[in-house]
Every structure is written in C-alpha cells, then in structure tokens.
Amino acid sequence: MRGFNSVLFSFLLTTQVVSPAVIRRDNDEGHQGCTSKYVAVFSVDGLHNSDLDRWLALGPSNMSALLESGYRYTNAWTTGPSDSYPGSLAQYTGANPRTTGVWYQYLMSFTVVYDETVDYNSTELFSGGIDPAHLPQAIINGKCTDIYPHMRTRVNTAFEVVVGAGYKTAYTDKHPSYDLMRGPSGKGLSEGYFPEIAAVGPTVEDNIAYDQYHVNAWLDWIDGKDIAKAEGSLGGKVPTLFGGNFQAVSVEQKTSGYKAGSLDFTDELLKAVKFVDASLGLVVQKLKAKGLYADTLIIIASKHGQAPIDPTKYGKIDPKAVTNATGVDVAFQTSDDIALIFLGDHKDTGKAVDGLQVKRTALKIDDIIYGERLIDLGFGDPLKDPAVPDIIVKPVEGIIYTTSTAKIAEHGGLSEDDRHVACLVSSPGLKKNAFGGKVYTTQVAPTILKTLGLDPQSLQGVKAEGTKTLPGFQDE
C-alpha cells in the first residue's frame, strides 16, 4: 500500500468540521465596498508590492486603469511559509497552514510525502490528470482509499460555498494536483483546468505560451464555455467565482530577476509583466463585451513573492548540509529559502537544534524556530499535529537551500521578499483608494463571499482564525 497512514488520516477527518449553512445576504446593508454577481481572482505568482510600484511608474497600463476604480493594499502579506499551496489556499479558505494543514507542496505530514506532480506523465502538458498510482493511501471506512490532494485540506473553500449556493465555479493552475482547490468535499470546482507546467521549457517565451492557456480559459469561461481537457463542466453558465494564476513572472524572477543596484526589471522579467498586464486587459475587454464588467469584482493577489529581489544577496547551500547538521534521524525535510524539518522522534528536537546552532554561521541561519516559539508564533504544535514541522530554519536574506544551478531566487520562506505581495481589487462601483495598514491574503476569502452576498462565516477557516474582510469591505 502506497504511503499508508491510517493514524494521520483519522486526524485529518476528526479535524474537519461539518460545513456550516450557506446564507445568502442579498440585502446586507451598512458595509463598504460593493456587491457583485461575479468575482474573478488572479494570482500573479511572485509579484511583489514593490514590483507593482515599478510597473505603475512606467506609465499607464491595464493595472493602473483597474486602480482608477479600485483599492490597493500596499502592505499585503501572504502566508508563512509562503509556498504555492498554502498561498493559494489562503485566498480561498481565509486560513493559514496551521488551520488548513497544508504547509508545502511536497508534504502532507512527516509520514506522508506528496509530490506536486502526481499526474500520469509530468513531461506532457495534458497526460490525463492525476494518476492514482502516484497517490498515498489510507484506510477509510475499512477500505484502502487513494488520498487525493483535495483531501489534504481540513477546512472548506470559497469554491465549495459558492457551489453549495447553487452557482458555478472554475479555476486553473500549474499542476493537476491543484485538485486541492476543490476543498475537502471534492466538489468545489464546477470546472478545473490544470496544464502541467513541468512540461514547459525554461524561457520567458515558453512560460508566456503556458500562461496563455490560463488566459484563454478565463476568456472562454466568461463566455460560459467549457475548456478542452478540463475536468467538469459549467453547463453553459458563466462561473460566479473563477480564477487562477500567472506563472511567467515567477519563473523569470528565478532565472533572470532584477538588475543589480537599481533593482529594475531585467528585460525578460519586464516582458513577463507586460504579458500579464496585457492579459488582464483582455479579461476586462471580454467582461465588457459580455455586459458583465459592472457586475464583476476583480481581485489580483499574489499567492507568493520571491526572494531575494536584490541579486547581490543570493547564495546557495546544499540542503543536505542542513539535514546532516541536526545529527539525528530526519524523517523528512523540505528546503527552498526555508527548511521545514520533521524528525523521526520529537524527543530529538533539542539535540537537532544544538547541532544546527553549531553550524549556524556555515549554514547562514537567521533563525531556528521550534518548541514553544512554534506555538507562540502561530505555526502550531508538532506534538499534536503531524502536519507541523518540528523545526523551521529561516536562512539569512538571499540564501536558498538548493543544489540547483538554474535559480537565482526562490519562494516558500518567511522573509519580506517572500511575503510582501501585490494586492488590489477593482470594480466600477469602487472609488479609488489605497490602504497602507497591514493586511493578509487570507482576507481575500471572506471578501469574495461578502461581495457575492454570501456569508463569510460559512468558511471554517474564517471562523477558526477570525479572519476579516479586506479594508473597504468591512462593516461600518
């Protein structure tokens, strides 16, 4: 049996709560913002708040036009860790990893490791979706059951709430494993579209061509059309909630990045940003052509940033050196510009930390988070939750734990470059405004539901963490 762990899955089942009733709030008065029939949510993966500043400074654009009737949040932060999975879930659950149980793309817990590329053949753009042979398994109701990615999530998603209210939803992202976004019921997406990014070449042209699949999907969804090789169907209806990601900016940050000194975009990164802006313009044009623009809230919020922005700060260290420094049995470790360490025995935590402290300078460690600090900082308790790492290693700014020779930046960590992201909302009914207070991308989820006239408290993650709507959409 592949990756079998009945204890872990029992934990996941007992921590999921019965979905609360969906309440339509068509006549909800006394709040700011707007009400809309449709919400479109786009993550420009990697786009920092500072990148949006750079782009807007270059002159008029589609994003600047959106801000003429929109709100900008200049101090928006994504999850920590800032990996793609928790960053994506945050925007649709209103919750952080301690609540969703999803910390990173490659792991479910210290005993069950998920590879994000669980499709039949990750060298093909479309190979038939998720291959059950690549999934871990558990005993559920006495039967050996494949654990699909959506079963990892402990709380429901905005997609599930919208579908539960009788509407259609659609989402596109970079791997079939973004089945995760269906939520624990597995029913959150009316249509899911997941071309495999691993099948795409490394150039900016390659990744723009890949992103074009996502853009074409959004345009077709606005027409109420189903996508070839997508999973599910819209039944001819425009989805009430739809979205997905852009990949090109993130890839170019990793391979080309920014100019040393000025931190201006390199030519390749600028090309990627231009493509994103032009694509957003196409979405707006299509919404207008269909007479839907006035009834749509557009949200742009990056699921993650990228570090470092300053290329002179880049350095790399073999992640095995981190593992070896612990001097104890490490069950699993995932490493980028962070290291999440799951020990074979929780009792070895003190010894492992001592070993890391000895190598602190060599490993360029900024912080080692474990024990009570893990709990105090809101990460959770590994003694009670198998999804929580025993130790989090935060390297100094710019350091990546990798052996790759192709990357000059990465995401997933806790730094400002990882987490301080672009965030804006736009609708013809909004008056231009900017909010400088600190907000979190988890606040996107309740904002989606409130805008649609649905109850944000229908989201279990919102209730668990007390997540508020974004400023401008809050009750007076």
Question: Rounded CA gap, 398 and 410, in Å?
Answer: 9
Q: Per-residue pLDDT for the chain (476 aa), expressed as one digit of tens each?
A: 444 444 444 444 444 443 444 444 443 333 455 799 999 999 999 999 999 999 999 999 999 999 999 999 999 999 999 999 999 999 999 999 999 999 876 555 444 555 555 776 777 888 878 888 878 877 778 888 888 888 889 999 999 999 999 999 999 999 998 999 999 999 999 999 999 999 999 999 999 999 999 999 999 999 999 999 999 999 999 999 999 999 999 999 999 999 999 999 999 999 999 999 999 999 999 999 999 999 999 999 999 999 999 999 999 999 999 999 999 999 999 999 999 999 999 999 999 999 999 999 999 999 999 999 999 999 999 999 999 999 999 999 999 999 988 899 999 999 999 999 999 999 999 999 999 999 999 999 999 999 999 999 999 999 999 999 999 998 75
pLDDT at 213: 98
Q: What is the pTM of this model?
A: 0.92
Residue 146 has what pLDDT?
A: 83
In one-letter notation, the amino acid at residue 78 is T
End-to-end CA distance of the chain: 54
Looking at domain 6-311+415-465, its CATH superfamily turns out to be Alkaline Phosphatase, subunit A (3.40.720.10)
- List of residues 6+ apart from 150 with CB closer than 8 A: 179, 180, 181, 182, 183, 184, 185, 186, 188
- CA 39 distance to own-chain centroid: 17
Write down the domain spans for the chain: 6-311+415-465, 315-401
Contacts for 221-227: CB closer than 8 Å, 24+ residues apart: 221/170, 221/191, 222/283, 222/286, 222/287, 222/290, 222/292, 223/286, 223/290, 226/191, 227/191, 227/193
Go through 281-309 and write b for each residue having 16 or more CB atoms within 10 A of its CB, e for each that does not.
eebbebbeeeebbebbbbbbbbbbbbbbb
